[in-house]
A and B are shown apart, each in its own frame.
Chain A
Amino acid sequence: MTLAVLTPAALDAAMPMALVFDQAEGRILHSGRVIDKIAPNLVGQTLEDAVDLLHPAVPITPEAVLAHPGRRLAVRFRGATDEAAGPGTRLRAFAVPLEGGRAILDLSFGPDIARAVARHRLDAGDFSPIDPAVEILFLLEARDAVLRELARLSERLSDARDAAELKAQTDGLTGLPNRRALDHVLNRLMGGRAPRFGVMHLDLDHFKQVNDTLGHAAGDLVLERVAAILTEEVRLGDLVARIGGDEFVLVFPDCGDADLLVRIGERIIRRLEKPIPFGQEACRISGSAGVTLSAFYRDLDLERMLADADRALYDSKEAGRAQVSVARPETA
């Protein structure tokens, strides 16, 4: 029973991506208006002339196409291959036999619809007004916009985290790294193969008197000045950390020379002893230091190294301050 006869115009409106061919030769009798944009002038050619069957991978004959009605096929138009854009778009297809020895091969885009639309310069009018294909394109654009926004958000969060981390490892007054940063650096050094570094523990002398007689503003000024001196007296790559009120730890990577550290310490102390002007007054301080080297230890233990540097610092204090002592671990 024939239900309806479709004119080419009606077929084009309802199925803009359909081919009609005759079952005997595979000759193309009608090519939908959208197919015309992808591979023009197909009418009169045979399926074999115009189309490659990609799936199943067999020669394209009317029998092959109609062997499994309703099964999804994959095809490509030969004429759509282009040197710049590469092989023609892979299209989905399925065949429906018609009365009178004819058949329809209806086509559709697959997941790469966005590229296909751009490549063949299709617009909304090329899709049936009820085709949700446009929604897919809409969704792809919306997804890209959302992903861009998420990427921006994640960048901002990452910047904020870096800033927070830096803040957490910095002493607010002097801008020097704090105890956390010191632990971080020391643990990193210890994690290396055959760690080699020196540590200096420095404590200011007479700092409390400055605070008590001239006030905290003077104390803060002194600490900032000390931070500047310490930073100037070490190499780039050395670490100066403020770990307490007037306590500093200096770390010297790649250092195995105790005399060098003693000289650096003495130079620092000489500079610390220069009076620091505060209004009409002058702040007078000095410093005592203890140093130790990773090279002193057969079994390196960070806690012990720091304790030895601290003990050496107290040796300096007991010997009259304003000097540098070198730790002498028992195993040395």
Chain B
Amino acid sequence: MHGMICKSLETFLRTNHGHDIWAAVREQAEMDAPEFEAMQTYPDDLFLAVVAAAAERLGRPVSVLLEDVGTWICTTPPLEPVRRLIRFSGPTYEDLLWSLDEMHDRARLAVPDLDFPACRAEEIEPGQYEITVRWPISGAAAVMTGILRAMADDYGVLAMLDRGARRQIDGLWHEQISVTLFEAEFAPPRDFSIGVSA
């Protein structure tokens, strides 16, 4: 697992729940290093152990924890670049949904060895989308749900997101998210310009 993803989880736990929780999670997951390095790669098993330990410590299901991480990535001010990079998908929330199939390649463009989940959106009927997320590890749809929820706020649209079916095909998890868009413009969007950020 890429260190950026591991580090995101760690920073979420540290800033939202404290360094003691992080220390306890590390111990339970039998992680030797005191912290993740964003520029290193870690065994998937270690990442999964940290996720499981964190969910247990915080007393909430893994999927809820991962959704919170997804939302936090897009809304915490120190990670503003992430929100900005997602906003490069296009001027509207629908543009974002349609460009999800490019997100994997975009992430690679930025960090060549970052294995971002592969996503695809389909419009089932007007305003109703079905998103498929594929990743070797189960849980990517939960993180994406958190991200898409936060970005709906960012674009100022009212959207309802539900996680749907998931199954494993040839070692890859296929997980579904359904998105219902109620109003294209619900609230004023947050500022975004493609020029150099201040």
Contact = CB atoms under 8 A, between A and B. Distances in A.
A150 interface: yes
B196 to A, nearest CB: 5
A153 B37 contact: yes
B24 interface: no
Contact of A139 (B84, B110, B195, B196): B110
Contacts of A184: none
Nearest to A129: B90
Interface string B105-132: 0100111000000000000000000000
A124 interface: yes
Residue among A138, A144, A150 with the most chain B CB within 10 A?
Answer: A138
B37 to A, nearest CB: 6
Contacts of A145: 81, 85, 110
Contacts of A55: none
Q: Dominant SS at the A interface?
A: helix
B187 interface: no
Nearest to A157: B37
A141 interface: yes
B106 A125 contact: no
Interface in A80-120: 114-115, 117-119
Q: Dominant SS at the B interface?
A: loop
B195 A114 contact: yes
A124 B193 CA distance: 8
A22 B182 CA distance: 50
A135 interface: yes
Contacts of B111: 142, 146
Given A117-B194, A118-B195, A143-B110, A150 B85 contact: no
Contact of B196 (A115, A146, A149): A115
Contacts of A149: 4, 38-39
A123 B39 contact: no
Contact of A125 (B4, B91, B197): B91
Interface string B172-198: 000000000000000000000111110
Residue among B84, B91, B106, B194 with the most chain A CB within 10 A?
Answer: B194
A145 B83 CA distance: 12
B109 A138 contact: yes
A156 to B, nearest CB: 8
A153 B39 CA distance: 8
A173 interface: no
Interface in A130-179: 134-135, 137-146, 149-150, 153
A135 B109 contact: yes
Interface residues of B, number: 19
Contact of A117 (B90, B91, B109, B195): B195
B110 A122 contact: no
Contact of A134 (B4, B37, B194): B194
A144 B82 CA distance: 12
B6 to A, nearest CB: 13
A104 B67 CA distance: 51
Nearest to A127: B194
Contact of A124 (B81, B90, B106, B197): B90
Nearest to B110: A142
B195 A122 contact: yes
Given A138-B109, A138-B110, A153-B37, A121 B85 contact: no
A173 to B, nearest CB: 25
Contacts of B37: 153
A2 to B, nearest CB: 35
Contacts of B106: 135, 138
Contacts of A125: 91
Contacts of A114: 195-196
23 contacts: A114-B196, A117-B194, A117-B196, A118-B193, A123-B91, A123-B193, A123-B194, A134-B194, A135-B88, A138-B109, A138-B110, A140-B196, A141-B88, A141-B196, A142-B111, A143-B110, A144-B81, A145-B110, A146-B111, A149-B4, A149-B39, A153-B37, A153-B39
Interface of B: 4, 37-39, 81, 84-85, 88, 90-91, 106, 109-111, 193-197
Given A114-B196, A135-B109, A138-B85, 14 more contacts: A117-B194, A117-B196, A118-B193, A123-B91, A123-B193, A124-B91, A137-B195, A138-B106, A138-B110, A141-B81, A141-B197, A142-B111, A145-B85, A149-B38
Interface of A: 114-115, 117-119, 121-125, 134-135, 137-146, 149-150, 153
